[in-house]
Amino acid sequence: MKRLFVLMVLCLGLACCGTAQSSGFTSLGNEEFAKVIQKKKTQLVDVRTPKEYAEGHLPKAINLDVNNKSFETIAEEKLNKRKPVAVYCRSGKRSKIAATKLSAQGYTVYELDRGILHWDGEVVK
């Protein structure tokens, strides 16, 4: 009985914990992210600084620095809410922030979980 109770508490805890999907966006590993960005309608966004972007980015990515005070306004100007948005950064921290902000604005957002540091696809320099 005690084990059943512990199991139920664990399951409930896992169900209630904040996952990326409950935050309004979906975090993906490399393989799944690669599939999403191959779709023509997906808007690919690098949320790092312009300097980091210039050092290397995914092909066809646009740069919208999430640390820019006007990030949400610029996103409204450059992105289409009817199309999915795929975001990434260096390690995954800033992309989660950007994904949360964009999701709150009504975008469908996919985020590269561990960032470009762990990306095994093509990078443009």
Query: Which superfamily does 21-118 belong to?
Result: Rhodanese-like domain (3.40.250.10)
- Residue 77, phi then psi, degrees to nearest 5: -75, -35
DSSP helix/strand/coil, 105: coil
Cα 119 to the chain's mean position, in Å?
A: 13
| Type of residue numbered 1 | M
Which tens digits make up the pLDDT trace of 76-109? 999 999 999 999 999 999 999 999 999 999 999 9
CA–CA distance, 37 with 53 (Å, rounded to integer): 17
CA–CA distance, 112 with 61 (Å, rounded to integer): 13
pLDDT grade, residue 23 (50/70/90)? Answer: confident
Active site residue 17: no
Question: What residues does each domain of the chain span?
Answer: 21-118
DSSP class of 102:
H
DSSP class of 40:
T
Is residue 63's pLDDT more than 90? Answer: yes
DSSP class of 62:
E
